[in-house]
Each structure stands twice: as C-alpha cells, then as structure tokens.
Chain A
Amino acid sequence: MSDPQPPHPVPRIPEQDPAAEGVLVALAVAGDRAAFGALVERYAGVARRVAWAILGNADDADDAAQDAMLSALVKLDQYDPRRPFGPWLLRIVANAATDRRRRRSVRRSEPLDVGFAAGGPRPDATAERRALGERLRQALAALSERRRAAVVLFDVEGYSHAEIAAILGIPEGTVRSEVFHGRRRLRALLGDWKEEA
C-alpha cells in the first residue's frame, strides 16, 4: 500500500536533489573528502536524531551516528545509486545505534527535572518551549526503542512506512502500528501540556 502525500510537506533531506546527491556519493567513493563532508553535513541532523530515538540519550547517539557515518564511508562502494541514499544510510545508523545499545548497558535518559514536569514557572515562551522539549523527550524515552524510531522517522523526517520498514528491518504493518501507538501517546501528552498551559 502506498502512502499518500502529506498535506504539508515535511522537510526531508533525501528529496533535496537526488542527482546531486548521486554525484556526491560517486565523488566520495572516489576518495573526495569534501564530497563525503557534504554528505555528512547533509545527513548529520537526521542521523543524530534517529540514533537518539533508538538510544535515548544525546552522547551515545552522537557516537553511534559517528560510527555509522564511518561505516557508511567504508561501505560506500556497496551502495546502489539507483536507490535513495537516505534510507540506505539510516539503515546503517539504526544498526549502529542498535548494536551500541546491545553492547552497552545504555543509561536511560536523565529523569525529567521536577520543576518542568510539574509545570513549574514558565517566565517566557523560550522557557516554555524548552520545557515542552524536555517533556517530549521524556515521553519519547518512555516508548520502546522501535516505536521511538518509527515516530521520529515518520513525523520528524517524513519517511514513508515502506522506507521506515526498510530502515528498521521490520514489516511495514509493524511500522504502521508503532507509529500509531507512539504518536497517540505523544499527542495525549502534548494535549495535557496545552491544558496545563
């Protein structure tokens, strides 16, 4: 089943310019440092977010995303340029994050600051956004690793269910279910936040 186009296009890196991206990949395979740097820069954000979604903390996420980028560099000659680069790279990122999670007893996210959690003082909009961010991160941390990754890939990065299935190595139906249950939990939390505010 194909996914309909979203009503509001989600900013999505892989759709920027696939042809130019193919050229960058070819140059990087040939050893062009600047081309590889451009690819890393282009995908740094999404790679770190996806790794965060799986690992649950920023430091481990950065390490995993970094390992994944280097692993991708080594495997670049195996990349099929007829396929989109983003899902290929993010599959490596997801695997690196999952491996890191298995290897280590990954610490859970830091407990939410009580002041934020209880809806403490919110002097301005910036503090309010920061508080909401903390609360969202806490809510994400309460989801399973796979559910977090599915929601982030779908609602933040704009990938289709089929692409997420390929990235996470799970059936498409499972992706739909994970996205549904994950966003329901997050929406409920955001709804509560609005009522509190």
Chain B
Amino acid sequence: MKESLSFDHRPDAALGDALRRALDPGDPAPFVARVLARADQVRAVSWDTVLARWSRLGVAAAALVALSAGYVVGRAGMSAPAAQPSMAETLLVHPAQADVGIVLASVIDN
C-alpha cells in the first residue's frame, strides 16, 4: 500500500483489494435470480400497460369517429333540399291555390 498521501490519480491496488474483500456481497446467484424474477413481472406489467394504453386510444378514437360521423350527418341534414311544404304552409302562403286536391292529398298522406 502506498505510504504517500500525495494527491495521486492512480487507483491504489492494495487498498482496492482490501476494500473489495471487505465489500464482497457474496454469491451473486440469488441476487440475479431475484432481479430476473422481478424483471419478468415488470415485463408483464409493461405489456399490460401497453395494452391498456392501446385500449384507451381505441376508445378515444371510437369516440372521435362517432362525433365526426354525427357532425357529418348533421351537416348533411342541414344542407339537404327543403322538404315539400306542408298543406298548412301552402294554405297560409298561397290561399288562392288552395283547392280540394291539395286538401285531399294532405288527408291521404296523413
């Protein structure tokens, strides 16, 4: 072991060996086994997370599609040609055109 206390930049092999022996954590096999067992759980959880994320995305996408479809259908309904005026409208707007044929047609439709 070096006796000098100078500010040197080289690892001290003797001190390192003594410390390595002092800090020897023992057989790594049980540690490795524990880590791998937990890693399997982490991987399983992460797959669940991925699937859950995709599931949430799927629900959000379906909601978006439904909203879009509703909007499109609504717009289409608003821009559709006006329906035939009802008999009441015809009578109110053009009383002169009111005749028996119109009234009968209205009764038959209803």
Contact = CB atoms under 8 A, between A and B. Distances in A.
Contact of B35 (A4, A66, A156, A190): A66
The SS class assigned to the A binding surface is: helix
Interface string B11-53: 1110110111111110010011011101110110010000000
Contacts of B108: none
A70 to B, nearest CB: 5
Contacts of A70: 35, 38-39, 42
A183 B35 contact: no
A136 B22 contact: yes
B16 A156 contact: yes
A33 B33 CA distance: 12
Given A186-B15, A187-B15, A190-B15, A33 B35 contact: no
B11 A73 contact: no
Interface residues of B, number: 32
B84 to A, nearest CB: 65
B2 interface: yes
A155 B19 contact: yes
Contact residues on A (Cβ < 8 Å of other chain), bracket: 35 or more
Interface in A44-71: 44-45, 48-49, 52-53, 58, 61-62, 65-66, 69-70
Contacts of A123: none
Contacts of B105: none
A53 B22 CA distance: 11
B32 A40 contact: yes
Interface of B: 1-3, 5, 7, 9-13, 15-16, 18-25, 28, 31-32, 34-36, 38-40, 42-43, 46
